[in-house]
Amino acid sequence: MIEAIFHYEFLRNTLITGLLIGLIAPLLGTFIVVRRLSLIADALSHVTLAGIATSLFFSKQWSAFAGLNPLYFGLGFSVLGSLLIERLRLVYKHYQELAIPIIMSGGIGVSVIFISLADGFNTDLFSYLFGSVSAVSRTDLYLILAITIFVGALIIFLYKELFLLSFDEEHAKVSGIPARVIHFLFMLMTALVIAASMRIVGILLVSALMTLPVAASMRIARGFKQTIGLSILLGEISVIGGLISAYYLDLAPGGTIVVLSIFILLFVILFKRMRAKGIIGKQRGESQ
């Protein structure tokens, strides 16, 4: 694959996009996991699928939509879904978690309707569901790069506020932090990252890339910043290894990336358990 990258533009686009997604998805995923909002990624991914299915249906029915990139529809639906979740959280003040399954159910329902109207699954829809090595265009790359810069800059600028809201929301509110505005921006970033990641990982698997590297890093990290750094490192390893495996095995990259992430998580858990029991320490002591 390394040699092919220099000959084929689509492979260069895929590799660069993968590196960007491997950076931004675990970075934002760390805050999602710490805030116990992991299911939001699943909800918004299904809303994004509804946008993709709607776009494919429109492009089939009306020629005016034929050249429109489905990524824009998915992005718009994802942002709309994040706004609806925030609105429902205000409606159900004492049962705010209800907002997530409501939006997820709506996304699934709309997706099924438009997939059926578009005569079921096709190659384009399959690539959006599970990712594709060859589907990333230069336009997609530029859009994902812009999203990465925007989300990364927001996280750096709002790091203190996001940190306080993640670990002590009540103290953050008392301190004068505009919690509602910060949470809205947080939801917006989540929607953008999910829409950006679907080209590589796929809509149905993107939440795994936002949570599995974080789950692995939390087992071995000794602080929040170290958790972020390790999550990004493990995310990049999963993406690069998954893309290479998908290229040579002719598989959808979403599956290989997620399976590799699971293997990394299992290895970390096993390593941590063996170290806790003293198995690794004993072997090192005997060898010395």
What tokens does 209 get? 């890339």
pLDDT value of position 12: 82
pLDDT value of position 287: 46
Give the count of domains, the chain.
1
- Please give the mean pLDDT across all residues of the chain: 84
C-beta separation of 134 from 14 below 8 A: yes
CA pair distance 143, 150, nearest whole angstrom? 11
Q: Answer whether residue 230 is part of any domain.
A: no
Q: How many residues does the chain have?
A: 288
Q: Answer whether residue 77 is part of any domain.
A: yes
More confidently predicted of 92 and 218: 218
Position 153 pLDDT exceeds 70: yes
Q: Answer whether residue 57 is part of any domain.
A: yes
C-beta separation of 23 from 151 below 8 A: no
C-beta separation of 235 from 26 below 8 A: yes
Closest CA to 40 of 160, 277, 210, 174: 210
100-104, 128-132, 145-149: the lowest-pLDDT one? 128-132
The pLDDT tens digits of the residues spanning 1-52 come to 555 555 667 778 888 888 999 999 999 999 999 888 888 888 888 898 888 8
Q: Answer whether residue 91 is part of any domain.
A: yes
Provide mean pLDDT across the span 194-204.
82
CATH number of the domain to which 154 belongs: 1.10.3470.10
pLDDT value of position 1: 56
H or E element that contains 129: helix 123-130
Q: Answer whether residue 229 is part of any domain.
A: no
Q: Answer whether residue 266 is part of any domain.
A: no
Q: What percent of the chain has pLDDT over 90?
A: 26
Provide mean pLDDT across the span 56-60.
80
CA pair distance 228, 213, nearest whole angstrom? 9
CA pair distance 93, 86, nearest whole angstrom? 11
Q: Answer whether residue 178 is part of any domain.
A: yes
Which residues form the domain of 73?
Answer: 2-207
What tokens does 280 get? 């690794």
What tokens does 238 get? 């999963």
Q: Answer whether residue 76 is part of any domain.
A: yes
Position 96 pLDDT exceeds 80: no
Closest CA to 194 of 46, 87, 88: 46
Which pTM value belongs to this model? 0.84
Position 146 pLDDT exceeds 90: yes
